Structure formats: C-alpha cells, structure tokens
Chains A and B, each alone.
Chain A
Amino acid sequence: GIQVEQSPPDLILQEGANSTLRCNFSDSVNNLQWFHQNPWGQLINLFYIPSGTKQNGRLSATTVATERYSLLYISSSQTTDSGVYFCVTDSWGKLQFGAGTQVVVTP
C-alpha cells in the first residue's frame, strides 16, 4: 500500500511564529486531505487538496502531485492551533493516514 510520511513528528512554536508541515507519499493518489485533530479528538477538515494551492485564513496548503508531496503552512500561529495535524491520502477509495505532526503553540 501507499506509505505516507509526515514531518516533523513534533513541533513546538511560540505564538506568532510560522511553520511548515510536510507530507510525502510513495505513489500516485486520487485525493489528499489535511486534518487537525483537536484535544477532544475531533478531526476538522482543513484542506481537500489533491493538487495545487489553497488558502484559508492563516493556513495554506500546496500539493505537488507529480513529486508526491504536500505542504501545510501555518502563519502567525495561535494557541488554538495546537493539536495533531494529519495528512490523509485516498487511492481508489483506500485511505491512508500519516503518523501526524503534534503541534504545541506556547503563549
């Protein structure tokens, strides 16, 4: 199956800092999504981004499908950005989760 690798595994940020999270995948995929899992366990859709670039407020994402990677940018981080960020690929209906990046934003 497809391997999904996320980096870094952990990230500690001071409030206001910017950061980039990376997701590499081992084969072509039909779709790719980024999620934020909050401390209560809820997975929140951030981006549905099989290719190209999207922006939503302080967050943006870029997927370069031909090179099999996606990036999630967090700008001007806030404490509410803390949690785990997952990259999830979908290849013909088969979902594969990355291990996640644990983000802690300190005041």
Chain B
Amino acid sequence: GAVVSQHPSWVICKSGTSVKIECRSLDFQATTMFWYRQFPKQSLMLMATSNEGSKATYEQGVEKDKFLINHASLTLSTLTVTSAHPEDSSFYICSAPGTGRSEQYFGPGTRLTVT
C-alpha cells in the first residue's frame, strides 16, 4: 500500500530558529500533498496544499511567510516553520492522495516543541 513518511518525528527548537519538516511519498508519486496541524484533543486543521512545480495554496489565516512550503519533487514536500515561537508548538501531519485515487495516506506526524 501507499506509504508516506515524515522526518523528523519530533523536534525541539529554540524561539527564533527555523525548523524544516520533510514529507515523502515512498512508493508512489504525489503531485499534491497536504499539510495539517493538530492541537491536543482537537481535529486536524488543513494549513496548505503543496503543489509540485507551483506555489502552495494556503488556507485562510495561515501565514505564508511563516510556514514556507516547497514541493521539490514528485515524492517530497517540505514545511519550514520560520522564526518559530512557542505558540507554533504543535503536531504537524502531511498527507498525499494515492495513485489513481483520491484516497488519502497520512504521514506519522512531527511533534514540534518550541522553547
């Protein structure tokens, strides 16, 4: 089946630094990937749609300059949290639709803690 990986699985960084999170489709190609964040005991909130070869589409209220998305290839999308602040601490998850279907496959998530 389709597998999506994320790296790192958890990261701790200091305020003001930037953190890059990678999302890879391991056994299929994905022209589109999605990024979400999830707060404790809440549902996932779609942040942006990552498009290979073009700019990402951000959801309303998500700062484009803070959450930089780059879809570098058909198997890799990255999310960079720039100038991180403690309120950016969250669980970040990516997903990609499987080949030929719109069934979504999710990565295992990245837990970011900003101190």
Give residues in A with beta carbon < 8 Å to B: 30-31, 33, 35, 40-43, 45, 48, 86, 88, 90, 93, 95, 97-100, 102
Known contacts: A86-B43, A95-B34, A100-B43. The answer to whether A42 contacts B104 by CB under 8 A is: no
B58 within 8 A of A: no
Encode contact with A along B34-75: 1 for CB under 8 Å, 0 otherwise: 100010011111100100000000000000000000000000
Q: Which segment of B11-19, B20-28, B81-89, B106-114 sits at the interface?
A: B106-114
Give residues in B with beta carbon < 8 Å to A: 32, 34, 38, 41-46, 49, 91, 93, 95, 101-106, 108-109, 111
Contacts of A45 in B (CB 8 A): 103-106
Instruction: Report Cα–Cα, A12/B34, bound state, in Å.
Output: 32
Interface pairs (8), CB distance under 8 Å: A41-B111, A45-B104, A86-B44, A90-B102, A93-B102, A95-B104, A97-B43, A102-B41
A97 near B102: Cβ-Cβ < 8 Å: no
B43 near A43: Cβ-Cβ < 8 Å: no
